[in-house]
Amino acid sequence: MQRRNFLKSAALGSAAVLSGLPLHQSEAASGLKITKIRYYAAPGYNKPLFNQARGIVEVETDGGIIGIGEGGSKDMIEQCAQMLIGEDPFRIEHLWQYVYRGMFYPPGREKLHALGAIEMALWDLKGKALKVPVYELLGGATRDYVECYATGFRASTAKTEEERARDCIEAGLRAYRIGPTGGNGDQPFDYYENVKKTIEFCKRIDEAVGGGGHWAVDLHTRFDLTDGLKICNALENLEPYFVEDLVRSENPGVYKSVRAATKVPIAVGEQFGDRWDANELIENRLIDYTRFTLPNTGGIAEFKKLAAIAETHYVGMIPHFTGPLSTAALVHVLGSSSPSRCLMELGGGEPERPPYFNEDFINFKNGKLYLNDQPGLGVKFDPKKATFVMEVKEKTKFPHPILKAPDGSIHNW
C-alpha cells in the first residue's frame, strides 16, 4: 500500500514538474511581476570589427519599475524574454538558471549575451526598487576606484602612436594597449615580417611610456603558436603589463604549451562566455588575466562567480570593453569584488556617453572609473533617442518543461 501511494505521488509530482507551469505558484515575494520586456537598437551602431551586441533592454514590472540592460540580439532576447513574463524579478539567480537550463541544448555565446543583458536589467531593477546601488547588493565597495587602460587615445592630438601612448599615461590611465602590425585586410598578412615589426613596435612604445608595465599588446589571435611565442619571448625583458590572445581561442588547452614556453603575463577570454568556457584556463593557471566581460558572461552574478574562481587561482581581471552600459555595470562588479588586480579597458581612452543615457551614469576622472552611488546601475534611459525594435508581454506559447528538485531548485530537463 505504501509503495502504491509513493508511486502515485511521484507520478503526480512529475506531471507538475514537467507541465510548463510558472516557476512559482505563490505570489511574488517581492510583490512585483515582470510584465514587459522591450528591446531597442543603439542608433548609429553598425557592428564594428567585432560583433559585440549593443542593444538596450528594458524589463518592466507591474509596479512600474523598469530595469535597463545592454546586449543580445533580437531573436535571442525574444526567446529569453518569453520565458520570464509573469515571474518575480527579484529572484535573479533562479530566473537565470531557468533560462540557462530551460532548453535541451546548453546556450551558446550569442544566447549568453542576451541572457546577460536581461540579467543586468534585473539587477538594475532590484537596485532601483530597493533604492540602493547595485554594488551594495553585491556586498558593498571593496575598492575606491577601478584603474583603466586605453586602446587608442582620442584626447591626444599627437600624430604618432608613441606620442599618443605618452599622452595617455600622462592623463592618468594605467596602460596603453597596442595591436600587432599589419592585418588591415587590404594586403596579405606576412607572418614573418609582422613578427619582426610587432616586436620593434612594442620596443618603441615601451620607450615612449618609460617602461614600468605602462603598455600592453594584443596579438588578436593572428599568429600561429610558433610566431606568437617568438613575439612573447622577445618581449619578456620589456615587461609589458600583459600580452593578449597569443593564438586562436577555439582550443583553450593549447595554453598549456604557451604557459610552459613564455614568462610574459598572458591575458585571454574576450571571446569566451560563462564559467564553463573559462574553467580550464583558470583552474590550470594557464593565464594571468581574464578578459571575460559583460554581457558575454551571461550576467553580473556570473561575472562575480568568475571573479571568485579567478581569486582562488591568483588570476587578475581585465575585462574587454563592450557597450557603455556594460562598462558602467562592470564598475559595480569589480568595485565590489575581491581585491585581485584588475583593470578596465576603455576604447579611445574614455567611456562612451551616448545621448540615450544620462550623462552622469558613469563616473570617470583622471583615468579612473569610480562607483556610482545612485540606485541600480545609476542609469536613466530615454527610449525616444534609441530605435524601438520589439516588445514581449506574453509568455511563450510553447512552455518549456521544468525539472525541479524537491527543494524547488531547477535542474536540467
- Predicted confidence at residue 182, as pLDDT, reads 87
Same domain flag for 406 and 261: no
* Least trusted range by pLDDT, from 107-121, 176-190, 251-265, 332-346: 176-190
Does 377 reside within a domain?
Answer: no
Buried b or exposed e, range 64-102, using 16+ CB within 10 angstroms: ebbbbbbbbbeebbbbbbbbbbbbbbbbbeebbbbbbbb
Rounded CA Rg of the chain? 23
Same domain flag for 331 and 248: yes
Same domain flag for 321 and 174: yes
Same domain flag for 36 and 81: yes
Rounded to a whole number, what is the largest CA-CA distance in the chain? 87
- What ranges in 210-298 are assigned the alpha helix state H? 225-235, 255-261, 275-283
Does 17 reside within a domain?
Answer: no
At 175, which CATH number? Answer: 3.20.20.120
The residue length of the chain stands at 413
Q: Record the cell numbers describing residue 354, joined without a space.
A: 551616448
Average pLDDT over residues 215-239: 96
- Predicted confidence at residue 4, as pLDDT, reads 42
Same domain flag for 34 and 58: yes
Does 15 reside within a domain?
Answer: no
Does 276 reside within a domain?
Answer: yes
pLDDT beyond 80 at 20: no
- Predicted confidence at residue 273, as pLDDT, reads 87
Q: Which residue, 318, 329, 267, 268, is CA-closest to 295?
A: 329
pLDDT beyond 50 at 146: yes
Same domain flag for 84 and 63: yes
pLDDT beyond 50 at 15: no
- Predicted confidence at residue 17, as pLDDT, reads 39
Same domain flag for 256 and 141: yes
Angstrom distance (rounded) from CA 233 to CA 20: 56
Same domain flag for 180 and 109: no
Average pLDDT over residues 6-19: 36
Residue appearing with cell numbers 535542474: 411
**How many domains does the chain fold into?**
2
- Predicted confidence at residue 160, as pLDDT, reads 96
Positive or negative torsion for Cα 353, 291, 288, 141 = positive
Question: Of 328 and 401, which is predicted with more confidence?
Answer: 328
Q: For residue 97, give Cα distances in angstroms to 102, 115, 183, 218, 314.
A: 8, 10, 40, 34, 27
Same domain flag for 301 and 338: yes
Angstrom distance (rounded) from CA 37 to CA 282: 35
Range of the domain at 231: 136-370
Backbone angles phi, psi at 71, to 5 degrees: 125, 180
Q: Which residue, 235, 228, 236, is CA-closest to 254?
A: 228
- Predicted confidence at residue 104, as pLDDT, reads 80
Angstrom distance (rounded) from CA 232 to CA 406: 53
In single-letter form, the type of residue at position 101 comes to R
At 397, which CATH number? Answer: 3.30.390.10
- Predicted confidence at residue 281, as pLDDT, reads 93
Does 6 reside within a domain?
Answer: no
Q: What is the pLDDT of residues 307-352, one digit of tens each?
A: 999 999 999 999 999 899 999 999 999 999 988 899 999 999 999 9
Same domain flag for 142 and 273: yes
* Least trusted range by pLDDT, from 132-141, 167-176, 359-368, 402-411: 402-411
Q: Quote the mean pLDDT of the chain.
A: 90
Q: How sure is the predictor about 47, in pLDDT bands with cuts at 50, 70 and 90? A: low
Does 222 reside within a domain?
Answer: yes
pLDDT beyond 50 at 8: no
pLDDT beyond 80 at 114: yes
Highest mean pLDDT among 120-134, 170-184, 390-404: 120-134
Same domain flag for 346 and 211: yes
For residue 175, the cross-strand partners are 149
Asked if 122 contacts 361 with a C-beta cutoff of 8 angstroms, the reply is no
Does 123 reside within a domain?
Answer: yes
Same domain flag for 270 and 212: yes
Does 9 reside within a domain?
Answer: no
* Least trusted range by pLDDT, from 15-19, 35-39, 44-48, 56-60: 15-19
